[in-house]
Structure formats: C-alpha cells, structure tokens
Homo-oligomer: A and B are copies of this chain.
Amino acid sequence: MPQTERSGCPINLTLEQLGDRWSLIVIRDVMFGNRRSFGDLLSLSDEGIASNILSDRLKRLTAAGLLSRRPDPAHRQKYIYSLTEPSIQLVPLLVQMGAWGRRHTPVSYELSVRAELLEKGGPALWSAFMSELRHLHLGARRPARSVFADLQAAYEKAVARQARSRQ
C-alpha cells in the first residue's frame, strides 16, 4: 500500500503486516477450515474470493512469513500451504474479531457457533487450539485434546440443525 510515513505502533504494524481483509480471510480458511491447497481455498470460499486475489494474497502471506508452502507430493506443480508460528499466534486476535462480529454484525447461526465456542473457552481453549494447529501445520506432537474436532462437530451440528429447520 502506498505510504509516506510509518510508525512503530504495534497496532499499526500489525495492520500493515496483515494487509487487507482478504489476507485475513485466507488465514481464517487455512486455520479453521484446514484448507491447504489453492484449489480448496478457491472452490470452498464462502466469500467467493477471486482467483487472482487468492493467488496474490497467498504470495504476499508467504513472503511475509505468515504462510509457508511445500510441494504437494500427490500433485506435481501444486503446493500445500501451512500456517507458521506467527500466524498461529493470530488465534486470540481472530477470536476477538469473531466475538465482536457476533455482537455487532448480522452473522449467520451456523457460521458463528465456532466463534462462540472459542470465545467462551477463553485463553485456555485458545492455547489448546494453537497447540493443535502446531501439530497440523508445524509437525509438532499431536495434543491430547482436539479443539479442531470440537469446533468442527459444533459447526456440523449447527449446519444439520439449520438444514432440518429449512425442511
């Protein structure tokens, strides 16, 4: 982004580092949806991210050290994207974004149950979730508790409930 001056303010530098809205949307999808390939990030996008925007943000996030990529052993010329330690540490920030959104924006029921669960779980749950992300993305040991499974189960239950209520 064009800019003549920079300040050393941590809020400002965080905003500079994270970039625009789409960057955080991509991180969200890698983190909570475990979407690890360009194809999944594109085709499963709830916001209909455009292919060129996705491609650009993956490049930027990788250059900024917020994502890493490695060749996909199953597909030549394809990559698997992973979170890094700095992006895993975005969990508390993303939880607060979800918490604010639940109160002040017209969220959908099924897409806000995970946000509610994470918010109510507090720092202990965020920490357990970050340990699991380190397992899924950085090759750390698998922790005893799977917060990811709990979040996914809550989400799927909500989706099923919504589907039933629409019949």
Residue positions of A touching B, CB distance < 8 A: 1, 3-17, 20-21, 24-25, 28, 46-48, 86, 89-90, 92-112, 115
Contacts and interface: CB of A to CB of B under 8 A. Distances in A.
In this complex, which of A7, A14, A17, A28 has the most chain B Cβ atoms within 10 angstroms of its Cβ?
A: A14
A92 B126 CA distance: 15
A47 B12 contact: yes
A84 to B, nearest CB: 10
A90 B100 contact: yes
Contacts of A92: 96, 99-100
A6 B104 CA distance: 16
A10 B48 CA distance: 16
A106 B11 CA distance: 11
Secondary structure of the A contact surface, majority rule: helix
Contacts of A108: 7-9
Given A20-B20, A103-B89, A105-B17, A94 B6 contact: no
Contacts of A106: 8, 13
Given A11-B24, A92-B99, A95-B96, 12 more contacts: A7-B47, A8-B106, A9-B28, A10-B99, A11-B94, A11-B115, A14-B97, A14-B100, A15-B24, A15-B25, A93-B96, A96-B96
A24 to B, nearest CB: 6
Contacts of A109: 8
A111 B10 contact: yes
A92 to B, nearest CB: 5
25 contacts: A7-B46, A7-B111, A8-B106, A9-B46, A9-B101, A9-B107, A9-B108, A9-B111, A10-B100, A10-B105, A10-B107, A11-B28, A11-B94, A11-B98, A12-B47, A13-B105, A14-B104, A14-B105, A15-B97, A16-B105, A20-B20, A86-B100, A93-B96, A93-B99, A95-B96
